[in-house]
Amino acid sequence: MEIKTIPHSEQRYETCGDYWVDENGVQQVRVSELSDWRYEVLIAVHEIVELSLARNRNIDEGEITKFDINFEAAKARGECSGEAGDHVHAPYRKEHFFATNVERLFAAELGVNWFEYETYVDGLGSRK
């Protein structure tokens, strides 16, 4: 597994965390560079938990990425809001919810205010 932080503008689509398996079979995780290292760790942990559960449950990564890209395009057109993984039709909804629960617990242990963190992450698109 390779985990990297990258400028937000270099994400494959409008997201702060992304994962896929590359052509060599290596799990890749990308996290947007953020103002607080703890935020980056929280996103990385979320992505690792989500991808692990999806992989264990044989949920195709390509389907996840396709859903996310389509969701973000619809969101940009004002047709939906929120996070792709929260959507009722997300192929990885259960896995996303579990990863978010882990992320919230970890945030509390790191002393991260969840509301401030969520507000910051939700505003990333406007800071590109």
Q: Determine the length of the chain.
A: 128
26 contacts 83 by C-beta, under 8 angstroms: no
**Average pLDDT over the chain, rounded to whole?**
94
Task: Kindly report the number of other CB atoms within 10 A of residue 80's CB atom.
Answer: 14
Q: Flag whether 117 is in a domain.
A: yes
What percentage of the chain has pLDDT greater than the value 90?
Answer: 91
Q: Which is nearest to 113 in space by CA: 45, 15, 36, 47?
A: 36
Domain-embedded: residue 48: yes
Across the range 69-74, mean pLDDT stands at 94
Looking at the predicted structure, is the pLDDT value of residue 122 above 90?
no
In a domain, 28, yes or no: no
Structural domain includes residue 16:
no
Residue 8 within any structural domain of the chain: no
pLDDT at 12 over 70: yes
d(CA 49, CA 41): 12
CA distance 69 to 122: 16
Q: What is the tally of structural domains in the chain?
A: 1
| Domain membership of residue 64 as a residue range | 34-127
Q: Is residue 53 part of a domain?
A: yes
pTM, 2 dp: 0.92
